[in-house]
Amino acid sequence: MMTLKYPVPCVCGNDSPDNTVFTLPPQGEPGMSVVTQANLQRLSEHIRQRLNGPVTVTCHPHRVGLSSCVAVTVEGRLRRAVNILITVSGQGSWPAEEEYEHPRWYITVTDAADMVYLVLWLNNGVCQEL
């Protein structure tokens, strides 16, 4: 089994430069905006509404056209699951509130660093809470 650890991002500021999800300087602590924190909290709440107890996170990286993606499955008890497609598109977007009722949620991020950090956050942030 492999364990990936990362520094938990601090909340620093109201907006993100270049529309990134996380601020990831070459040296220093990672950060996120207040808006990103709110979006991550909403995502976490919707996952917790659907799943309880211990969960597993499975990631399947792939490409859709020219875009790099990772399909994330968060699976809980009784094989209930949340499916999230994270796509690198050069800009960020989060599901609208009504989209959380669909079986798959779509998140776009600016770059691969945001995609990797979001997957790490899902694994450590959400899964440790359930």
For position 102, which CATH number holds? 2.40.50
Q: Where are the beta strands (DSSP E) in the chain?
A: 10-11, 22-23, 31-32, 56-64, 67-75, 81-88, 104-109
Residue 10 lies in a domain: no
Residue 7 lies in a domain: no
Q: Indicate the SS3 state at residue 130.
A: coil
Residue 1 lies in a domain: no
Model confidence, pTM: 0.88
Residue 117 lies in a domain: yes
Residue 46 lies in a domain: yes
Question: Could you give the number of structural domains in the chain?
Answer: 1
Cβ proximity of 34 and 13 under 8 Å: yes
Q: Kindly list the distances between the CA atom of residue 48 and the CA atoms of 54, 118, 124, in Å, as whole numbers in the listed order.
A: 11, 17, 14
Tens digits of per-residue pLDDT, 7-63?
A: 888 898 776 667 888 888 888 788 999 999 999 999 999 999 999 888 889 999 999
Q: Could you list the residue range(s) of the whole structural domain that residue 109 is in?
A: 29-129
Residue 64 lies in a domain: yes
